[in-house]
A and B are shown apart, each in its own frame.
Chain A
Amino acid sequence: MLRHCALGFGGVALQALQQAAAGPVAPHFPARARHVIFLYMDGGPSQVDTFDYKPALAKYDGQDPRQVIGALAPTQFDNVGKLLKNQWEFKQHGQAGHWISSLFPHLSTVADELAVVKSMTSRFPEHTSANYFLHTGSGLQGRPSMGAWAGYGLGSENDNLPGFIVLNGGLIPPGGLDCFGSGFLPATYQGSIFLPKPEPIANIQPLEPSKALQRNKLDALRDLDAATLEESGHDREIDAAIKNYETAFRMQSAVPELMDLRGESEAVKTLYGMSAAYPNTRTFALQCLIARRLVERGVRFIELTCPNGNGDRWDQHGNLIEGHNKNCVTVDQPIAALITDLKRLGLLETTLLVWAGEFGRTPFAQGTNGRDHNQFGFTIWMAGGGVKPGVSVGRTDDFGYKAVEDRFEIHDLHATMLHLLGIEHTKSTFRFGGRDMRLTDVHGHLMHQVIA
């Protein structure tokens, strides 16, 4: 079955609300994490400007990379400039001694929670395929997203909310809603896109002027349908369809309740950055706070996408300094707050956070002041449930160009995420088109170094 995710968001969301019926499923082995928050850094952050400190770049700054590094693989924009040193200052932070650039002053304060992986690779240097790959384990469109696989493997803990929610900061990544689809998995597992506003998804708001008017309608409907059910000899499908109406009615309240922040203290809101000066920080702060509320409500997989207006996502082919500054100001404080807040509530140990883009960027310039896509070696980090805090894993070459030690690929990340959720990735399969399909296809090895 090839069910779609790219419904408009509302459609996606609603479709997935049935997760209720699925209910929690026993994992393959005890789970280390019950929830995932995937912090998706759309466009590809530059590893050498954030977490992968390369002094050699300063040494060879301005020189021809072909002379210094050797032969280069084709890049997407085919406009190779000179080697470009890290544009921000690096320091070591915490007991762990993670090298983190000055772009992340808040995150640096929780450095000891992070497991930093500096040797991630992808197979695609182009956004769309790389996005599909990161999300679904395939460079093609229309495959199930990792959040859908998590739901398929584990079911839901909340009857009235979808199991896979994408909190859309304003940008839908290249490749569109298919990054969050259920592909051939049942539609119920697809990502529901929530906008940060009181009506976050379509068709959740009754159009009747009053609740009573809708209630009347539902009551009359129930009576008419009861006769139909009787006549059909209690057909199971019709029975289930009738019950869906009561579930739908409850969902109409659960979603607004989720978005209602009146119960949150001012201190917490401020911690997340909801009164920050930069508007995008406030947007991302709201996303992070809602993410925590979703964790509290038992939602399995939560993905955050980036707010608009930071210079075409993290995709700084030019104006690296301005773009990365804006992107970091947007996410730094809210993410640090999310880690702190989850820890305070005792939720960090059951919530896996993953921070990743679809690829990294070249250590040499594109033109003069940008960096092109680089899938050969880039940095991601993980934190929380089941992750060994404070470790740094893998290494790129002296220039941060290609992974040379503990080279990982996206399949490994997926295998590890599923593992931490209690799912054996080779055993979580779905028969489709004559094959037993997996998130990791025929690949994937656990990243033992980051597993606590």
Chain B
Amino acid sequence: MHPLVRFLPGGLLLATALAAPPTPEQTEFFETKVRPLLAGQCLDCHSVAAGKQKGGLLLDSKAGWETGGDSGPAIVPGQAAKSLLISAVKRSGERVEAMPPKKALSAEEIALLEQWIDMGAPDPRPKVEATGALVKTFDISKRKAGHWCWQPVSRPVPPTVRHADWPRQPIDSFILHRLESAGLRPAPPADPRTLTRRLYLDVTGLPPSPADFARHGVDGPGFDAAKVVDELLASPRFGEKWARHWMDLVRYAETCGHEFDYEIPNAWRYRDYLIRALNLDLPYDVFVREHIAGDLLAEPRRHLVDQSNESVLATGFWYFHEAVHAPTDVRLDEAERMNNQIDVFGKTFQGLTIACARCHDHKFDAISTADYYALTGYLRGTCRTDSVVDPGRQREIAARAQLALRAQAIPVLSRKASPGNAFLAAHDLVRARIETGEAQVQPDADVIAKTAAEREMDADQLAAWCRLLAAEPSEPRTPAGFWSSWVRKPEILPGLASEARNARQSLARFRQETELFADFSGSSLPTGWTTTGQAWQPSGPQPGAAFSSGHPVSSPGMVSSALLGEAHVGTLRSPTFPTPTPQIHIRMRSDQVLARVVTANYHMAAFSRLLFGGTIRSKDETATGDTFRWISLEGDLRKYVGQNSYLEFVDSGNGHATIDEIRFSNGPRPPAEFPALLDRLLADGGAAPAGASDLAGRLDALWQEEVEGRGDAAVLDWLLGQELVPGTEAKDFRAVVAQGATLAAKLPAPQFALTMAQGTPENGFISIRGSHLNRGAEVPNRYLEALGGERGTRLDLAGQIVSTGNPLAARVMVNRLWHHLFDRGLVRTVDDFGVLGETPSHPELLDWLARDFMEHGWSVKRSLRQMLLSATYAQASTAHPELDSKVIARVDPANVLLHRAPVRRLTAEEIRDAILAVSGRLDPTAFGPAVPTYRSAFMTGRGARPSGPLDGAGRRTVYLSVYRNFLNPMLLAFDMPNPFGPKGRRGTSNVPAQALTLLNDPFVLEQAAYWASHETSAPSLAPGERLAVMLERATGDLPEARELNRLQAFWQAQTAACQGDAQRAWTDVAHLLFNTKDFLYIR
């Protein structure tokens, strides 16, 4: 008996019972069994009385569990099996966490709860009004009002200072004002050598050479810091240094990590983009716009030299996330991926921890869960794609000219031409020889020539038909085999015609049983279909010329990458659809083109046939040969039914595909079909062709029809492709086709960049408590409510970020610049301006810099120049000698007020680059694919790539590979971050591992030897002179006598210990200098 029934007075209907107030029996059951259980096991964390509402759930009244917690109602009265409460106590792991957390209920207790719920969950307890901490406190406007970072950027005026002669820049007034208020005074200016070395390393990441010092006159009266600054900011080395700072933010990497460390292709193009953008001082607002929506700009910015699309490259940053190759749940994978993308987006551009609002409204900041999921909508509506890099816009120009030509080709053909005549004449010749039993059915050349002359037709055309008919017979159901088979056995014609008609019927039936997704019948691509690159073009409503080999005429109503020739490349994408069926069938003719379903934007399926078999057809799998066939996406596709997907066709060169139609199928499979030519010849019209003259008539009729722009062009394409049209007739057509093909013939090898493309716009959905299985309300695409919350496109979103009304974009960026020059941001937590971040040390200065930045074209170099030329920056790194160290210890122990310049260790990249620069090994080549990571014997594991050279080919560190699973140990030892999330402020560890690296690492030793040989091969110097040169090269200092004496003593001792091997001793000197703190630190 159903438990409910037992408690019901006879005859009462179930529905009534559920709505009715509890009966006395039910109340007693609740009071004696359920209430004690709830009180003992649940209410400590789920009641107003206890002041706790874990998971948003109250269980102290019916209203509590009816409203439910974050995951919705806890109890479905009458249905224990559907109640989350039961799911939780049974610890099923579905949607809700196991409860009670510490110890499971007994089986009896669980049964009791089930019984109670099944009887309708009678609960006589009155509603308890929430009080105190349980009253929902998340209020965006209150949060916003309560924290500085949301407030508009103010217009501070530089404060007046007592020592008015000290400031060189407005910056200095702010700094000095604070110093004076604290009873401090600035340090004296650093000496020109120290300042020059600091400037070189801060601006370019490379140390100055002795020649640089000399050129700038650091030891004389003519030293001009402004000249040094301007020269350095204009140096191509500037971008190489500052790009790396940005790469820390966007977790730049060239592989995906995880099990096999698969490649992130062409990542380096993004790195090069950064370097170029920084070197040309691209306004920061443009820079940000390009990052967020560079693919959507109506007029993208062009590469200065080769005119290729520069803006779109910036969008690559979205895709440097880690990636797994075998997720059993792609939507979970998508949720994790978007979380990382939003984390990078939020911290990098806005200094906000937006990603923290994934599971709940932000605990501290004015960011709601709805805000978070509103941003996921933007990402859901995008596609990761390989953009075509088009230097010189050659592809674009060629494609435009080719498209114009296409329209001209068909009209040159004469509708009066009669292919049937030549066919009939050839048939007569060949047939006669067959009937006379000639062993050789091919007519002699002179016979062909004579016949052609007699009948006034083109001899070449006649000969071509003769060859076709006389050829060795092959499969009659192919355009080539049909003619030779039929001419020998005319009796097969009715049978073939009937097969062709049947095939048509089967196809018609298949079409009835399946759902059409796209048939490309319009003159442009169907709504929502998009392309990247030039390859994919709609064939249009009429036959047209095509410039790839084999098929000179395109059929109407298709989309094709064959029209402009094989050299063009690109991607074709469908709009996004909830995968409706477990099979998708595509009628296409293809070679070397990839076809796939992309579900939940998951792009690694190619690496996991175990989970995604059948959802991808590789370039070889889509090869259909010369005819149209149905290619099926199926197999594991069944797992993704209902999930958002789009179709993608990728032509990455030397291939082509023409797509006719795409259908969704729940089971019916596409039939085999007749090649289009035979279909038209044999199945058209009321009756099957009776013989040669019927066929000739049909050829002529179809020719005329197609030349006039009707029909599917099967006959035109075949006749022109096989050169069965008289030379006189086809000459002009061929000339156009040849001209079209030539336009693409000289295109260089294709190049690609990883970028974002817009797909079908989608909205986000709240995932309750961050679980993608627990879907909540839909939210439209918009930016944070606290910052206006305007809806719009991704381009609009970018506009909101860099609008002058946005209080964060400029503040965050100038703070980053400051951080890198002063080793500490005005807001120390450079990636978090929220409540958990630190408050600004100099809020007015921050706002002054931000406003100045926005009002002067968001120029990074201008902003940097002001900082670099400030008196603050130019200070020595030791406090003013007249300052009492006790005062310093009390008011500014951490130098937050900048009473002196900071001392900082060189970054990982600066150490390696400086070693190369000093040793003379530095190769200044800029840009291009990265140098593979040197892999020591200790670096093993899955996905290991062949090792690169120990010295990284002498290239700057920014040009070395970043393989997630094989990061460079030396760089990591010196705090290069691992690329998993935004990292605007690196750690600065100070550990013995660094000493061991510089003492014993083979790279350092190799460079020491290189440097020593370099120095000793130079014009002969006395040992003391050479030591002085080396010391200056390494540290920027002119040696003092005691340093020189110590070095000389060391050199002599080592020479003696090495049995007079002076070269060895010079290497030891070089090695020693790489370890000195003067080399490793900037003062």
**Chain A residues close to B by CB (< 8 Å):** 1-18, 20-21, 74, 76-78, 121, 125-129, 139-142, 172, 174-178, 181, 183, 186-188, 193, 195, 201-210, 212-214, 216-217, 220-221, 223-225, 227-229, 231-233, 235, 237-238, 240-242, 244-245, 247-248, 251-252, 405-407, 431, 433-435, 443, 445-446, 448
B832 touches A434 (CB 8 A): yes
Interface residues of B in 945-984 (CB under 8 A from A): 964-970, 972-973, 975-978, 980-981, 983
Asked whether, in the complex, the Cβ of A175 is within 8 Å of the Cβ of B259, the reply is: yes
Picked from B324, B336, B995, the residue with its CB within 8 Å of the CB of A126 is B324
CB of A203 within 8 A of CB of B1076, answer no
B878 touches A6 (CB 8 A): no
| B639, B939, B969, B973: most-surrounded residue (chain A CB, <10 A) | B969
What are 28 residue pairs bridging A and B, where the CB atoms are less than 8 Å apart in the complex? A2-B978, A3-B987, A5-B978, A6-B966, A7-B968, A9-B938, A12-B969, A20-B992, A76-B611, A140-B980, A142-B980, A187-B989, A193-B938, A217-B1054, A220-B1046, A227-B1040, A228-B1076, A231-B1083, A233-B877, A233-B878, A237-B903, A238-B1081, A240-B990, A241-B990, A247-B995, A248-B999, A251-B992, A435-B356
- Least Cβ distance of A13 to chain B in Å? 8
Check A237 against B980 for contact (C-beta < 8 Å).
no
Minimum CB–CB distance for A402 against chain B, Å: 9
CB distance from A161 to the nearest CB of B (A): 11
The yes or no answer to B834 lying at the interface (CB within 8 A) is yes
Give the docked Cα–Cα distance between A68 and B824 (Å). 64
A209 CA to B943 CA, complexed, in Å? 36
Also in contact, A241 and B983, with CB within 8 A (given A3-B978, A212-B1057): no
Choose among B610, B611, B936, B941 the residue that contacts A172 (Cβ–Cβ < 8 A): B941
Known: A3-B977, A187-B987, A434-B834. A244 touches B1076 (CB 8 A): no
Is the C-beta of B942 less than 8 angstroms from some C-beta in chain A? yes
A63 to chain B, nearest CB (A): 25
Tell me which residues across on chain A come within 8 A of B1046, comparing CB atoms. 220, 223-224
Given A10-B969, A74-B639, A174-B259, does the pair A224, B1047 have CB atoms closer than 8 Å?
A: yes
Q: How far is the CA of A418 from the CA of B17 in the complex (A)?
A: 51
Which residues on B sit within 8 Å (CB–CB) of A241?
Answer: 905, 990, 994-995, 1077, 1080-1081
Contacts beyond the supplied A15-B991, A220-B1047, A245-B995: 7 A-B pairs with Cβ under 8 Å: A4-B972, A7-B967, A20-B992, A217-B1075, A228-B1078, A240-B990, A434-B353
Q: State the Cβ distance, A261 to closest chain B Cβ, in Å.
A: 21
Task: Return A179 CB to nearest CB of chain B, in Å.
Answer: 10
Among A21, A193, A217, A238, contact of B903 (Cβ-Cβ < 8 Å): A238
Across the interface, B258 reaches (CB within 8 A) one of A175, A206, A445, namely A175
A-B interface, 5 closest residue pairs, ranked by CB to CB distance from nearest: A11-B969, A18-B991, A4-B978, A14-B993, A142-B980
B937: chain A residues at CB < 8 Å are 202
Contact string, B1061-1078, partner A, CB cutoff 8 A, digits 1/0?
000000010011001111
A3 partner residues in chain B, CB cutoff 8 A: 972, 975, 977-978, 987, 989
- In the assembled complex, which residues on chain A have CB atoms less than 8 Å from the CB atom of B1058? 209, 213
Given contacts A142-B322, A224-B1078, A241-B1080, contact A217 B1072 (CB under 8 A): yes
The minimal Cβ–Cβ distance linking B441 to chain A, given in whole angstroms, is 55
Given contacts A193-B938, A251-B992, contact A433 B1072 (CB under 8 A): no
Residues of chain B lying within 8 A (CB to CB) of residue A176: 257, 261, 941-943, 965-966
Q: A6-B964, A245-B995 are in contact. Are A445 and B1078 (CB under 8 A)?
A: no
B residues within 8 Å of A by Cβ? 91, 93, 97-98, 101-102, 104, 257-259, 261, 322, 324, 326-328, 336, 343, 347, 353, 355-356, 364-365, 610-611, 636, 639, 831-832, 834, 836-837, 877-879, 903, 905, 935-943, 964-970, 972-973, 975-978, 980-981, 983, 985-997, 999-1002, 1005, 1040, 1042-1043, 1046-1047, 1049-1050, 1053-1054, 1057-1058, 1068, 1071-1072, 1075-1078, 1080-1081, 1083
Q: Do residues A244 and B322 form an inter-chain contact, with CB atoms below 8 A?
A: no
Please judge, given known A-B contacts A15-B973, A216-B1054, A241-B1077, whether A248 and B992 are in contact too, CB under 8 Å: yes
CB within 8 Å for A6 and B965 given contacts A174-B942, A175-B258, A213-B1058? yes
Specify which chain A residues have a CB less than 8 angstroms from the CB of B1077 in the assembled complex. 225, 228-229, 238, 241-242
Residue of B nearest to A5 (CB): B978
Q: Which residue of B lies closest to A225 (CB)?
A: B1077
Please give, as numbers and ranges, the residues of chain B lying within 8 Å of A446 by CB-CB distance. 102
Q: Are A9 and B939 also in contact (CB < 8 A) when A2-B978, A3-B977, A248-B999 are?
A: yes
B1081 near A141 (CB under 8 angstroms)? no
Q: Which residues of A contact B91 (CB under 8 A)?
A: 407
CB contacts (< 8 Å) of A74 on chain B: these are 328, 639
Q: A10-B936, A207-B1000 are in contact. Are A177 and B941 (CB under 8 A)?
A: yes
CA A203 to CA B968, docked complex, whole Å: 14
Residue of B nearest to A123 (CB): B93
Q: Check A2 against B981 for contact (C-beta < 8 Å).
A: yes
- Given A8-B966, A77-B610, A213-B1054: A141 in contact with B257 (beta carbons within 8 A): yes
A244 to B999, CA, bound (A): 11
Nearest-neighbor residue (CB-CB) of A250 within chain B: B992
A360 CB, min distance to chain B CBs, angstroms: 16
Given A15-B993, A187-B987, A129:B324 Cβ within 8 A: yes
Residue of B nearest to A129 (CB): B324
Chain A residue with the shortest CB-CB distance to B995: A248
Complex Cα distance A161/B355, Å? 38
Q: Which of B347, B969, B990, B993 has the most CB of A within 10 A?
A: B993
CA gap between A346 and B258 in the complex, in Å = 40
Please give the distance in Å from B557's CB to the nearest CB on chain A.
Answer: 38
Interface centre among A78, A176, A178 (most CB of B within 10 A): A176
Given A126-B327, A175-B259, A241-B905: A251 touches B991 (CB 8 Å cut-off): no
Within the complex, the shortest CB–CB distance from A341 to chain B, in Å, comes to: 28
**Across the interface, do A128 and B259 meet the contact criterion of CB distance under 8 Å?**
yes
Query: Are A142 and B981 CB-contacts (below 8 A) given A126-B327, A237-B903, A434-B356?
Result: yes
The answer on a CB contact under 8 Å between B965 and A11 is no
Shortest C-beta distance, B962 to chain A (Å), equals: 11
Smallest beta-carbon distance A40→chain B, Å: 15
Q: What CA separation (Å) do A203 and B1076 show in the bound complex?
A: 18
Q: Please, which residues of chain A bring their CB within 8 A of the CB of B977?
A: 1-4
Instruction: Chain A residues near B98: list those with CB within 8 A.
Output: 407
Partner of A141 from B258, B935, B986, B1068 at Cβ < 8 Å: B258
Q: Within the complex, what minimum Cβ distance (angstroms) separates B1075 from chain A?
A: 5
B938 touches A244 (CB 8 A): no
Cα-based distance from A235 to B1077 in the complex (angstroms): 11
A95 to chain B: closest CB distance in Å?
A: 27
CA distance A275 to B1083 in the complex (A): 58
Do A17 and B991 touch (CB < 8 A)?
yes
A434 to B346, CA, bound (A): 12
Contact residue among A139, A203, A213 (Cβ-Cβ distance under 8 Å from B1001): A203
Q: Which residues of A contact B343 (CB under 8 A)?
A: 433
Most chain B CB atoms below 10 A, which of A10, A203, A242: A203
Q: Which residues in A have their C-beta under 8 angstroms from that of B976?
A: 4
Which A residues lie within 8 Å of B941 (CB)? 172, 176-177
Report which of A121, A213, A228 forms a contact with B1057, defined as CB distance below 8 A. A213
- Report the separation of the CA atoms of residues A220 and B1051 in the bound assembly, to the nearest whole angstrom: 10
A8 touches B993 (CB 8 A): no
Contact (Cβ within 8 A) A237 B990: yes
Docked-complex contact A232 and B1083, CB < 8 angstroms: yes
- Tell me the bound Cα distance from A82 to B973 in angstroms: 51
Residues of A with C-beta under 8 A to B102: 445-446, 448
Across-interface contacts of A1 in B (CB, < 8 A): 977, 983, 985-987
Name the residue in B347, B837, B986, B994 with the highest tally of chain A Cβ atoms < 10 Å from its Cβ.
B994
Bound Cα distance A294, B148 (Å): 51
> A233 CA to B900 CA in the complex, in Å?
12
Q: How far, in whole Å, are A76 and B965 apart by their CA atoms in the complex?
A: 23
Task: Enumerate chain B residues within 8 angstroms of A431, measured Cβ to Cβ.
Answer: 836
